[in-house]
Homo-oligomer: A and B are copies of this chain.
Amino acid sequence: MTEPAAPFVHRLRPRYAEIDLQGVVFNAHWLTYFDEASTRFFAAIRATPAAVVFRDFDVMVVRAVLDWQRPAGFDDEVVITVVPTRLGSASFDLTYAAAVEGRPACTGTITYVSVVPGSPESTPIPAAIRSSLEARLQSA
């Protein structure tokens, strides 16, 4: 029996430019943070931007559900875990949980459709990526 892989973790610090008049990260930037985390997550499962993504594998976002628990501020260390929480034949969900100093800041579940690179046409998730996602799959 194999242990499930530890959740993937990405860290970043909000830029000065991303902080709004309320002194907190503007809401839209969380989708960008989660996208940055997805780049590193895919690289970690060997779908590196340079080698794979866009040639053998590409995705489109079709749904995003975001909840904010607490704001993040300028230069806070934001720790984001990334976990696949649903795996279909041509689509999957990644669930992101961002925390600052151990306390939840923003969580999101994003639904991706696997597409033929360079087109909006859906296509089955490539087998190697599929099995990597499966090995990390957790119930939402």
Residues of A within 8 A of B (CB): 15-17, 19-23, 26-32, 35-36, 39, 48-50, 54, 58, 60-68, 71, 74-75, 120
Contact = CB atoms under 8 A, between A and B. Distances in A.
How many copies of this protein are present in the complex? 4
Nearest to A29: B28
A120 to B, nearest CB: 7
Given A65-B65, A68-B63, A120-B71, A16 B27 contact: no
A20 to B, nearest CB: 6
Given A21-B54, A67-B62, A15 B27 contact: no
A112 to B, nearest CB: 10
A51 to B, nearest CB: 11
Given A64-B27, A68-B63, A35 B21 contact: no
B71 A67 contact: no
A39 B17 CA distance: 11
Contacts of A32: 15, 17, 26, 28
Nearest to A31: B28
B21 A39 contact: no
A16 B39 contact: yes
